[in-house]
Amino acid sequence: TKERMQKSMGKTGPKSVALGAFFGFISSSCSFAALSTTRALFTKGSGLIPSLAFMLASTNLVVELGIVIAIFLGWQFVVGEYVGGLLLILFVWLLVNLTRKKGLEEKAREHAKKAESGHDQSNSEEKSWKVKIMSKAGWYQVASQYVMEWKMVWKDVTVGFTVAGIIAVFVPTEFFQSLFIGAGQESNSFLQIIAQAIVGPVAAFFTFIGSMGNIPLAAVLFGQGVSFAGVMAFIFSDLVVFKVLRIHAQYYGWKMAIYILLILLCALVSVSLIMHYGFDLLGLLPEPSESKSMADREFFKINYSFFLNLIFIALSGVFICWWYSKKEGSMSTDRSIGDWILLVFTIIAYAWLATGLVLLPLV
């Protein structure tokens, strides 16, 4: 309930931030799911810093992500991911306390509540979760929330993944190597390391596939001689790309979205540099020869995640059909110019993907 949320995570302090990080860790998820859950916590009364701690923990302190990093990059990057994830939370806490303007948080909360106003949440606060989970109305509320969240982000996800795939296939690795000043050299100066840590988020902006999908590309960068700091900044940057910025703007308004973006950028660059020189001091910086190439990645295999995907695809179909049967398929046509432009790019993306499927048997 809102009362319990405000009591446990409404005020910023060690306990509330630790709770946010812990809940994020146990609910580890993809970036888009983390954004949605963070918004839900924030609208229910969680403070800005505990909410951001949840978001960072749920995308960085992920067991599966650590396994993928270990496969492609080695144990040093696994340590960097987890220790760096905790440092990110601490740095964000510090930076928000130093820079937050009065009233910004409450304005963002009001905006987030308005963004949720179209969701069917009747009587959501009067009933406990035990009652909801046993009722048809409770499950319809889940279906409605699920569909509304996807209606908000499906165009961004489609365009983003399509562009990421095009870049991953058609853009040569030399292009990324040229972005990182000093990449491929036996040693880099302090300024070169800083430049690579700053360029890391820029490269992630153009290649974003999600936390998991970015790891093989990070391995490509590391294999081409990009520094540990540059690669870690690239890995940490899944929450500072345009799609996430746009979703944050829909949730909280552009002012808060840009504020969160700048805070995360400053934090991840700082943490990446600290991790780099900390490992260097301990003599633990990894060698590029330890990473695996993009070609070594298994893009498809039958395992537990395959069957989980099938289950949730079926569940998604049920939720969507159920929601549209209640809503009679009505959709708002009140779109901004930006929404129309994004819709056009989405159609182009689907056309591109359809063309690829048609040509695939001929390759």
3-state helix, strand, coil in the chain (%, to 5): 75, 0, 25
Instruction: For residue range 298-347, list pLDDT tens digits in order.
Output: 556 777 778 888 898 999 899 889 888 876 444 555 666 767 887 888 89
Answer whether residue 11 shows pLDDT above 80.
no
Mean pLDDT, range 50-54, rounded to an integer: 93
Residue 159: its pLDDT value, please?
Answer: 75
What type of residue is 188? N
Q: Answer yes or no: is 340 within a domain.
A: no
Residue of higher predicted confidence among 290 and 148: 148
pLDDT over threshold 70, residue 129: no
> What confidence score (pLDDT) does residue 120 get?
47
What integer pLDDT is reported at residue 299 of this predicted model? 57
Query: By mean pLDDT, which of 96-105, 114-123, 195-204, 276-285 is the weakest?
Result: 114-123
CA pair distance 155, 232, nearest whole angstrom: 28
What does the H/E/C string look like for 224-244? CCCCHHHHHHHHHHHHCCHHH
Q: Which comes out higher in pLDDT, residue 127 or 262?
A: 262
Answer yes or no: pTM beyond 0.85.
no
CB burial readout 39-65, b (16+ within 10 A) else e: bbbbbbbbbbbbbbbbbbbbbbbbeeb
Q: What is the DSSP letter of 132?
A: H
Residue 177 lies in a domain: yes
- Is 221:231 a contact under the CB 8 Å cutoff? yes
Tokens (6 digits) for 247: 């979703």
Per-residue confidence band for 9, with pLDDT thresholds at 50, 70 and 90: confident
Model confidence at 124, pLDDT cuts 50, 70, 90, reads: very low
- 191 against 211, higher pLDDT: 191
Closest CA to 241 of 207, 194, 215, 217: 207
Number of domains in the chain: 1
> Is residue 327 in some structural domain?
no
| Burial of 11 from C-beta contacts in 10 A (0-12 / 13-18 / 19+) | middle
* HEC letters along 314-333: HHHHHHHHHHHHHHCCCCCC
Domain assignment present for 223: yes
Q: Is residue 353 part of a domain?
A: no
Considering the chain, what is the average pLDDT of its residues? Answer: 81
Give the pLDDT of residue 273.
96
pLDDT at 117: 62
Q: What residues make up the domain containing 229?
A: 2-299
Residue type, 75: W
- Check if the beta carbon of residue 22 is closer than 8 Å to that of residue 58: no
14 versus 72: the higher-pLDDT residue is: 14
Domain-located, residue 208: yes
Within the chain, residue ranges assigned H as helices are 2-9, 14-26, 31-43, 48-60, 63-72, 75-99, 104-115, 129-133, 136-170, 173-179, 190-207, 211-223, 228-236, 242-252, 254-282, 304-327, 337-359
Q: Which tokens go with 194?
A: 């800083």
Q: What is the rounded average pLDDT of the residues 93-117? A: 87
Most confident of 131-145, 195-209, 236-250: 236-250
341 within domain boundaries: no
**Could you tell me which of 285, 292, 172, 175 has the C-alpha nearest to residue 232?**
285
Residue 233 or 209, more confident: 233
Q: Which tens digits make up the pLDDT trace of 234-265?
A: 999 888 888 788 889 989 999 999 999 999 99
